[in-house]
């Protein structure tokens, strides 16, 4: 393409002990802030956060996140802010906390700080927010006019969180290279400035993300299970958060995320984390695009080693009927879904066939 565009957060900081420096980062962005905090983080680290803010003199209104990034929660927080116009809106927590903070910041015209306390998604760096309905079903991605001003990750918090979150982040990041390739081959637009051509930098970042996952994922998970921060853990945190975020935004998503969204209409998989469902969707992309069996087997091996879902049972959909799955496949092809960037023939039947084929292969491998 003759046009191309690249988007990124303004600053990324990944450093141990950063939870004790929240105030310094807020002060760098302005004198007033609205801080949206995950309830567990408030209970565990709230005093430390407050002490850090007190040292800087930043005037802060703190609001506890309600648990779901949906329209009602965004409106609740905006109403709580009243007539105040904080310089910064900060989210401290997981992906849904951060996406909610982005949407609130956009409404209030504030700068955005995303403090990720887990490495479970690439949400912190991106200029979009995934909005859900109150019941947890996917609503739609909302594309914002800019990326966060600052993204902070504290590895000490990441390894203290359940390791399932780190593994889910790996599952999400696993899709980055394969979906970038889908977009390259289908000549689709990325998510920068309304949709631009894919830059060389974006593809290079997506490839680097994949290389880090293949090299360091197993060692990082082993260390994280023991609460240990190692270079492999640091590398995977960066891959899950920064490389995957820049990779998907500058290259685009495809059916891994589209099938995630489609299957999310089925209640059975609501207990699964975003990255767990995306990992299953990644296998579906490879089947849809008729990639070599050796590549499919490699991804199956990787997912099985990390206990990421490779069957419908693993997705919580073991009892789903074919008609249920057909509804999910059809939903993955709704107008505007990322599935349409996949380099393949796309119908409800072809998507359903990919889902069923992945399930069949996964069950056969397990037996």
- List the catalytic residue out of 122, 154, 216, 257: 257
CA distances from 220 to 12, 94, 109, 308 (A): 21, 19, 38, 15
Q: Which residues of 29-58 are buried (b: 16+ CB within 10 A; e: fewer)?
A: bbebbbbbbbeebbeebbeebbebbeebeb
Q: Is 270 an active-site residue? A: no
End-to-end CA distance of the chain: 46
CA distances from 350 to 134, 150, 259, 260 (A): 30, 41, 12, 16
- List the catalytic residue out of 38, 122, 260, 359: 260
Q: Is 260 an active-site residue? A: yes
Q: Give the whole-angstrom CA distance, residue 167 versus residue 173.
A: 10
Question: 63, 59, 71: which is closest to 39 by C-alpha?
Answer: 63
Coil, strand, or helix at residue 39? helix
The helix (run of H) or strand (run of E) holding residue 295 is: helix 293-306
Would you give the DSSP letter of residue 132?
Answer: E
- List the catalytic residue out of 25, 99, 274, 359: 274
Q: Is 257 an active-site residue? A: yes
Decide the pairing of beta strands 138-143 and 128-132. Answer: antiparallel
Q: Is 274 an active-site residue? A: yes
- List the catalytic residue out of 99, 149, 154, 172: 172
Backbone angles phi, psi at 185, to 5 degrees: -70, -30
Catalytic positions: 172, 257, 260, 274
């Amino acid at each position: 393409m003759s046009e191309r565009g690249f988007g990124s957060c303004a600053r990324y900081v990944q450093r141990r002990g950063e939870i004790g420096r929240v105030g310094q980062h807020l002060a760098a962005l302005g004198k007033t802030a609205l801080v949206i905090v995950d309830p567990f983080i408030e209970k565990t680290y709230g005093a430390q956060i407050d002490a850090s803010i007190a040292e800087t003199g930043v005037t802060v209104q703190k609001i506890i996140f309600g648990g779901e990034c949906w329209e009602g929660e965004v409106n609740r927080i905006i109403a709580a802010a009243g007539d105040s116009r904080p310089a910064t809106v900060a989210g401290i927590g997981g992906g849904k906390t951060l996406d909610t903070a982005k949407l609130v910041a956009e409404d209030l015209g504030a700068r955005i700080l995303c403090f990720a306390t887990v490495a479970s998604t690439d949400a912190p760096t991106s200029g979009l927010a995934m909005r859900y309905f109150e019941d947890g079903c996917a609503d739609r991605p909302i594309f914002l006019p800019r990326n966060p001003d600052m993204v902070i990750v504290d590895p000490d918090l990441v390894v203290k969180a359940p390791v399932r979150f780190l593994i889910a982040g790996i599952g999400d990041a696993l899709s980055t290279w394969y979906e970038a390739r889908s977009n390259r081959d289908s000549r689709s637009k990325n998510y920068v400035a309304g949709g631009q051509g894919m830059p060389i930098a974006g593809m290079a970042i997506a490839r680097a993300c994949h290389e880090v996952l293949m090299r360091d994922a197993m060692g990082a998970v082993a260390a994280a299970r023991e609460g240990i921060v190692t270079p492999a853990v640091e590398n995977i945190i960066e891959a899950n958060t920064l490389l995957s975020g820049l990779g998907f935004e500058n290259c685009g998503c495809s059916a891994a995320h589209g099938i995630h969204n489609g299957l999310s209409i089925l209640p059975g998989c609501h207990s699964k984390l975003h990255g767990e469902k995306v990992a299953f969707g990644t296998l579906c992309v490879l089947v849809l695009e008729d990639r070599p069996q050796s590549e499919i087997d490699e991804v199956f091996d990787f997912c099985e080693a990390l206990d990421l879902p490779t069957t419908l049972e693993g997705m919580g959909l073991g009892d789903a009927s074919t008609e249920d799955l057909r509804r999910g496949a059809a939903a993955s092809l709704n107008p505007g879904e990322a599935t349409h960037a996949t380099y393949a023939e796309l119908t409800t039947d072809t998507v359903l066939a990919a889902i069923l084929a992945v399930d069949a292969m996964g069950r056969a491998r397990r037996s």
